[in-house]
Amino acid sequence: MESSAGVLKKIKKGVLGSARGCGVFSLVQNSKWRRDRLLILGYHGVAIDDEHCWKPTLFLHPEYFRDRLRRIGRCGCTVLPLGEALERLYASDLPERSVALTFDDGTYDFYKHAYPMLKEFGFPATVYLTTFYADYNRPVFDVIVSYILWKRRCAFLNLKELTGENLRFELSTEAARLRATRALLAFSSRRKLSAEDKDDLVVRLADAVGVDHQEILAKRILHIMTPREIGAVASNGINVQLHSHRHRTPSDRTLFLREIQDNRTRIEALTGSRPTHFCYPSGVYDDAFLPWLRDAGVESATTCDPAIATRSCEPLLLPRLVDSSTLSALEFEGWLTGVADMLPHRARA
């Protein structure tokens, strides 16, 4: 039986198709209502290999991403740098069909695929950079564990030799892979594994299920950009901003502010600019964070809640549409025009 979310998606696509056919898209995109609003688009990754098959909600195939940029241009959108876009939003001075492009984490696939395409189309963009792994040229631990388990969906995994726990998982189902991932992350947390120990665990996990770990390293899948690459994009039109140092938002004020400060210090060293805009890691936020961010001199913060920003939005809780392989071209154009924002939609986080 189809889920309620699937049924709702079909209904929305039907409404959007009718709206486009009846000229509503054109009417709304040229309206003062749309001109007073800013669509902040969020991206996580443009696949190097098969990441879009592993996590279609996070990754796009390169040609899929190129098509998005074409549609942004064909819709007559004005793509603004994030800082300028926000200044003009709150000053009631936005141009027609304003859009800001943002990319989370700062992974190598941005440098390899997204950055050249952005230059080709002449679009500015912001990278929300998590900095710990920028100096540590290895895949990000939490996500590489999940990716390796997905790569060997036909395998069985016994954690006995990896963690000492007699836990067996048949990796053919998503639920089982999620349980296995959680078990490995919990083990890492309990043992307080160092970065080197986590690397060793990943190598042994790949061997246990028959995945070529060296190929992942060679392709730099799920790696953060190197300092050289970050400097290169920052000096060529890409604005680098805050995403926490270790991709986390502690509930303790001191630890939270340390994440921001460590992140900012490293970004300043890499780019020569002081970052003042923030993106909540994994879209997780709390009202308690707002005064802490203000204390840290943060001017804006984006969520993963899908909506188009207006002047009435709290600057530290800005909505953002996270684009993905699961969003059809029709739905994407619906957001560019503003029509999709008029339809009911669930908060992502």
Decide if 25 contacts 337 (C-beta within 8 A).
yes
- Strand ranges (E), the chain: 38-43, 45-46, 59-60, 78-79, 98-105, 125-129, 156-158, 168-170, 238-242, 277-279, 300-302, 321-322
Residue 121, both tokens: 């189309």
In this structure, the number of other CB atoms found within 10 A of the CB of residue 316 comes to 21
Contact 128, 122 (CB under 8 A): no
How many Cα atoms within 13 Å fall on the side-chain side of residue 102?
Answer: 31
Same-domain pairing of 265 and 150: no
- Looking at the structure, tell me whether residues 203 and 236 fall in a common domain: no
The answer as to whether 86 is a domain residue is: yes
Q: Which two tokens stand for residue 253?
A: 């004020």
The total number of structural domains in the chain stands at 2
Integer Cα distance of 162 and 180 in angstroms = 12
- Domain assignment of residue 235, yes or no: yes
Q: At what angle do helices 329-337 and 62-74 cross, to 10 degrees?
A: 40
Q: For the chain, how many residues are written?
A: 349
DSSP state of 235: T
Q: Answer yes or no: is 75 within a domain.
A: yes
Burial of residue 192 (CB within 10 Å: 0-12, 13-18, 19+) is exposed
Same domain, 169 and 91: no
**Close Cβ partners of 89 (under 8 Å, ≥ 6 residues apart):** 37, 38, 98, 309, 310, 311
Query: Among 171, 191, 219, which residue terminates a domain?
Result: 219
Residues 6+ apart with CB under 8 A from 116: none
User: Measured on CA atoms in the order 86, 89, 95, 98, is the torsion positive or negative?
Assistant: positive
User: Residue 37: CA atoms inside 13 Å, Cβ hemisphere, count?
Assistant: 22
CATH code of the domain in which 322 resides: 3.20.20.370
Tell me: do 111 and 240 sit in the same domain.
yes
Q: Does 348 fall in a domain?
A: no
Token output for 191: 């043992």
The helices-and-strands tally (H runs, E runs) of the chain is: 17, 12
- Type of residue found at 185: L
Q: Smallest Cα–Cα separation from 190: which of 167, 164, 151?
A: 164
- 338 burial level (CB within 10 Å; 0-12, 13-18, 19+): buried
Domain boundary, last residue among 190, 219, 248:
219
Question: Are 213 and 235 contained in the same domain?
Answer: no
Residue with tokens 């001109």: 35
Residue ranges making up the domain that contains 21: 4-43+56-134+229-342
- Rounded to whole angstroms, the Cα distance separating 175 from 149 reads 12
Report, as ranges of residue numbers, the positions in the chain whose pLDDT lies below 70. 1-2, 4, 346-349
Same domain, residue pair 11 and 126: yes
Residues 204 and 159 in one domain: yes
Report if residue 198 sits inside a domain.
yes
Residue 322 lies in a domain: yes
Shared domain check, 245 and 99: yes
Whether residue 320 lies inside any domain: the answer is: yes
120 & 238 share domain? yes
Tell me how far the alpha carbon of residue 66 is from its chain's centroid. Answer: 17
Residue listed under structure tokens 């054109």: 26
Residue 154, pLDDT score: 84
CA distance 17 to 4: 20
Are 329 and 182 in the same domain?
A: no
pLDDT at 349: 45
Residue whose tokens read 């991932």: 181
Specify whether 213 is located in the same domain as 316.
no
* Domain end among 219, 247, 272: 219
CA dist 305 and 313 (Å) reads 12
Number of Cβ atoms within 10 Å of the Cβ of 195? 12
Closest CA to 143 of 281, 6, 335: 281
Residue 224 lies in a domain: no
34 with 151, same domain? no
